Amino acid sequence: VGEPQVVLRGGTVHTARVHGSRAAGGMLVPPDEGPWRLGLSSAGTFENLQLEPVPNADAPLEPGQVRVAVRAAAANFRDIMVTLGMFTHDALLLGEGAGEVVEVGPGVTEFAVGDSVFGFFPDGNGTRVAGDVRLLLPMSADWSYAEAAAVSAVFMTAYYAFVHLADVQPGQRVLIHAGTGGVGMAAVQLARHLGLEVFATASKG
């Protein structure tokens, strides 16, 4: 067919082309009412992304929970795998983000209404979601919501590897593969902060 790469789907041959974002169907439109989140009609392709209502968005908070008005959410490689159906189990998109606490549940003393927080939302992210206080941290005053949303998974991975698994000490050497990826860049920054001598690999393309 004169193409270096083709994909066969449902009996139709597809070739790679660059078009404007969602050129065929226009922009994603959120639901008319209530909080919404990014979801999938079915896994397998980015064309199945959709904006959908957050289920039980206003359900009473349980002990140890806060309700967060999300201002920024982070997408990483895990979300690509979920979208393309490469996970073996159901998973929700955008599990990390940052926002403002708008309600606190019973027994919560870590945060108050109005606090800016960031961290993980295992039950999925949306414009308004419930979060477990054990998975959230207060935002630094000089961070934007976008900056805070982007640090959780990559820096937690690097910190866990260096501090909890390897128990690294200043002056030691570390080899970081894929040093230009999200986790790789976080690992390089953290390694330098910890006083390590860094060696990193990266692909040509």
Nearest to 57 by CA among 112, 130, 148, 141: 130
pLDDT (tens place) for every residue of the chain, 205 residues total:
578 788 888 889 888 876 555 544 567 788 878 899 888 888 888 888 889 998 888 899 999 999 999 999 998 888 899 999 997 677 788 889 999 999 999 999 999 999 999 999 987 788 999 999 999 999 999 999 999 999 999 999 999 999 999 999 999 999 999 999 999 999 999 999 999 999 999 988 6
Rounded Cα distance, 1 and 8, in Å: 12
According to DSSP, the β-strands at 65-74 and 128-132 are antiparallel
Are 151 and 139 contacting, i.e. CB atoms less than 8 angstroms apart? Answer: no
Q: 6-167 has which fold?
A: Quinone Oxidoreductase; Chain A, domain 1 (3.90.180)
User: What residues does each domain of the chain span?
Assistant: 6-167, 168-205
Question: Would you call 113 helix, strand, or coil by DSSP?
Answer: coil
Rounded Cα distance, 13 and 10, in Å: 8
Rounded to two decimals, the pTM is 0.79
In this structure, what DSSP letter does residue 51 have?
A: E
Residue 141 CB partners (closer than 8 Å, separation 6+)? none
Residue 15 CB partners (closer than 8 Å, separation 6+)? 1, 3, 5, 6, 7
End-to-end CA distance of the chain: 26
